[in-house]
Amino acid sequence: MHIYLYLYRIVFLTGMLLGCSQAKSQNSYTGEDGYRTWLRYELVDNQQLLQAYKNQIQQVHLNTNSPTMQAVEEELLRGLTGLLGTKVESSLKLNPNGTLVLGTPENSPLIASLNFNEKLEQLGTEGFLIEEKNVEGHQCIVIAANTDLGVLYGTFHFLRMLQTQQNISDLELISVPQCKLRLANHWDNLDRSVERGYAGRSLWEWGTLPEYAHPRYTDYARISASVGINGVAINNVNADARFITTQFLKKIAMLADIFRPYGVKVYLAINYSSPVTLGGLKTADPLAPEVIAWWEKKTDEIYSQIPDFGGFLVKADSEGQPGPKTYGRNHAEGANMLADVIKPFGGIVIWRAFVYGERQADRVREAYDEFVPLDGKFADNVVLQIKNGPLDFMPREPFSPLFGALPHTNTMIEFQVTQEYLGNANHLLYKGRMFKESLDADTYAKGKGTTVGKVLSGEAYDYPISGMTAVVNPGTDRNWTRHPFVQSSWFAFGRLAWDYNLDAEQLAEQWIRQTFSNNETVVETIKKIMFLSDEAGVNYREPLGLTHIGTGIHYGPAPWSNRSKRFHQADDYGIGFDRSENGSNAVEQYFPPLNEIYNDIDRVPEKYLLWFHHVSWNHQMKSGRTLWEELVHKYYDGVKAVRQMQQEWNTLEGRIDEQRFSHVKALLEIQEKDAVIWRNSCVLYFQTFSQKPIPPGLEKPEFDLEYYKQLEHRIYISE
């Protein structure tokens, strides 16, 4: 055996043994297994505030005349009982003071009498208001909306205020979601494996559905609704056609029934060849009458099982998936056929823009080149789902130039919460700030200030439907996401889909308070860690705009792989992909002045430098260093930040529960080792081109490049 490999094994085994002894010494099991996510509803630990809350909320007043209003009541009683430490009653009598009144003008005569009409007009079908109000001479807090679902969203908002220990005196607020579609995409397969999942098996137990309603399904719906997610595509975009067989539709209908009170609609990813594979037809040509008839019948069946079915999600003509192109039809023809079929039922078609082939030298150009000529050709119930960046879910990408370039095509963004390229479920990485980076990016489509967020909310163009989706990974792991911190990105995504103006830092803080503790030291420490984590994750992997350096399963580094070489293009001169006008000219896809800025090696933001340019190793960076030195420093900064994260985390011992403390501590150890492997692999490999030394003062890689190349073949599987 190679000597280094041998050494590595010893280190690895010692680590495992240490890990075991640590696990054994854990004797303070607190039940903090992460199952409750951010909906923990622990007793308020600030006595003064607790007393104030108790005075203000002595009972709740609502009509439970619909499943959604029953869900409201259940959530409130569960939440308030936990937070206040006393049982709060639901009653239709008013206490002299201290009643929480909830409802809509339809389901509550009391709310109807309060004359909120003007405010309600602003709330649409999902917004809510929360207000302190004198009701029949009693001081009350009112949560009102036009729909039961709006009341449910208001309820979660109110509970969040208590969980994060906000003052609830003199409340007067309204909240309305900016995006109509706020969806989660699961990449779950029929055999219950999850593509890029990393948190156990699929949540959906096909073997026991529809008879058995696993309690997890309701909790999943609660979690989703608590952050405003209003739809879920339950299966992988690389879709198995069998999801829409009669047998499976019955099972899916059961899930839809459970999700319905929480406003979470079911969507299905479909396989474009279904008329052939399931229907036995000779073709799936969207213009063939027998194909249209087949989809009509199938859609009719789907709606007979799931009357409020959301619609189809389609990955077509992409990575081997079938699509209209096989039949000489374009994406619009392909999508519109389904859109026409589903329209009478009120459904939509979500058509993915993630397409690329070997046709072009630069994959980054392809989606734009394909879809911009089709702008205006899609039916009004089709929405194009576009990944946040033009390539894939890389650690960092500039925004996709399709945002803003489709004035006549409904547009939606696709983020990834699951950490496919970011350490799977082993690494701590809060994505809130990254989501914001995309949402706040100025497309300049209609002049300065046309941010991606404004495009998605329908403010920039008058889209009938638009919004945000995220690929999420919850699975059968008790804590849903395996790494406890993946939950933070799930939370941030939902909240941003509701309101893209929210601040990533505030969202992190809310999540920490709800998930861990309101203790200021804990909040500040965890926030610091989360805010080190995103830049660290980029720096020890793919700094300065590098991409696709990972192995085939996207965990460890492989800058020497053929795929990776195509993207980083390192050579004796320098490194980076030339997308300037001298190269693939992908810069031309951006509106001015971005096209000029990105084209200019001196003006392009350095975080995207190697995305847009092939740059000399000697290029002078803003820091005064050469590109080579800067690149190496970034890699070292990444590792340094992970070590800082570890140090910060260690200070939390005794301040948070032992269970999550030791879990995350162990995961950070893995992350540190992996970060070092990434750094050393990349620095040593790129050094074979730059032929320059590692700048003084930086620790030398422990092993040589050959050692790291062998590690490529090690199995890093987070099943």
Which string of DSSP letters, residue by residue, matches 555-579? SSB-TTSHHHHHHH---SSEES---
**Closer to ligand BDP by Cβ: residue 362 or 392:** 392
Q: Is 136 one of the annotated active-site residues of the chain?
A: no
CB of 681 to ligand BDP, least distance (A): 21
Residues that bind ligand BDP (CB under 6 A): 195-196, 237-238, 315, 319, 354, 392-393, 420
Q: How big is the chain by its Cα radius of gyration, in Å?
A: 26
**Closer to ligand BDP by Cβ: residue 78 or 196:** 196
433: closest CA among 532, 540, 554? 532
Rounded (to 5) percent helix, strand, coil in the chain: 45, 10, 45
Q: Is 499 one of the annotated active-site residues of the chain?
A: no
Taking CA 393 as the corner, what is the angle to CA 645 and CA 554, rounded to the nearest 5 degrees? 70
Rounded distance, CA 429 to CA 396, Å? 13
CB of 317 to ligand BDP, least distance (A): 12
Other beta carbons less than 10 A from residue 410's beta carbon: 26
* Helix/strand/coil for 339: helix
**Closer to ligand BDP by Cβ: residue 108 or 271:** 271
Structure tokens at 41: 């509803």
Pairing of strands 89-90, 172-175: unpaired
Rounded distance, CA 194 to CA 207, Å? 16
CB of 523 to ligand BDP, least distance (A): 34
Rounded distance, CA 200 to CA 194, Å? 8
Q: Tell me the H-state helices in 286-371.
A: 289-305, 331-342, 366-371
CB of 353 to ligand BDP, least distance (A): 10
Q: Is 392 one of the annotated active-site residues of the chain?
A: yes
How many residues are recorded in the chain?
Answer: 719
**Closer to ligand BDP by Cβ: residue 395 or 574:** 395
**Closer to ligand BDP by Cβ: residue 274 or 388:** 388
Ramachandran assignment for 681, one of left (phi > 0), alpha (psi -120 to 50 degrees), beta (any other)? alpha
* Helix/strand/coil for 536: helix
> How would you class 106 by CB atoms within 10 Å of its CB: exposed for 0-12, middle for 13-18, buried for 19 or more?
middle
**Closer to ligand BDP by Cβ: residue 238 or 305:** 238
Q: Which residue in 285, 333, 420, 637 is the catalytic one?
A: 420
Residue 700 main-chain phi, psi, to 5 deg: -80, 145
Q: Which residue in 392, 414, 535, 674 is the catalytic one?
A: 392
Structure tokens at 444: 């300049």
**Closer to ligand BDP by Cβ: residue 18 or 553:** 553
277: closest CA among 312, 242, 311, 239? 242
CB of 315 to ligand BDP, least distance (A): 5
CB of 321 to ligand BDP, least distance (A): 8
Are the CB atoms for 172 and 494 separated by under 8 Å?
Answer: no
CB of 71 to ligand BDP, least distance (A): 32
**Closer to ligand BDP by Cβ: residue 352 or 613:** 352
**Closer to ligand BDP by Cβ: residue 314 or 656:** 314
CB of 435 to ligand BDP, least distance (A): 17
Rounded distance, CA 274 to CA 255, Å? 22
Rounded distance, CA 358 to CA 374, Å? 21
427: closest CA among 515, 338, 567, 554? 554
DSSP state, residue 682? H
Are the CB atoms for 99 and 59 separated by under 8 Å?
Answer: yes
**Closer to ligand BDP by Cβ: residue 175 or 236:** 236
CB of 266 to ligand BDP, least distance (A): 20
Are the CB atoms for 451 and 439 separated by under 8 Å?
Answer: yes
Q: Which residue in 191, 300, 319, 571 is the catalytic one?
A: 319
Quote the strand ranges of 341-465, DSSP E: 348-352, 382-387, 411-416
Chain mean position to CA 245: 29
* Residue with the CB atom nearest ligand BDP in the bound state: 392
Query: Which residues carry out catalysis?
Result: 319, 392, 420
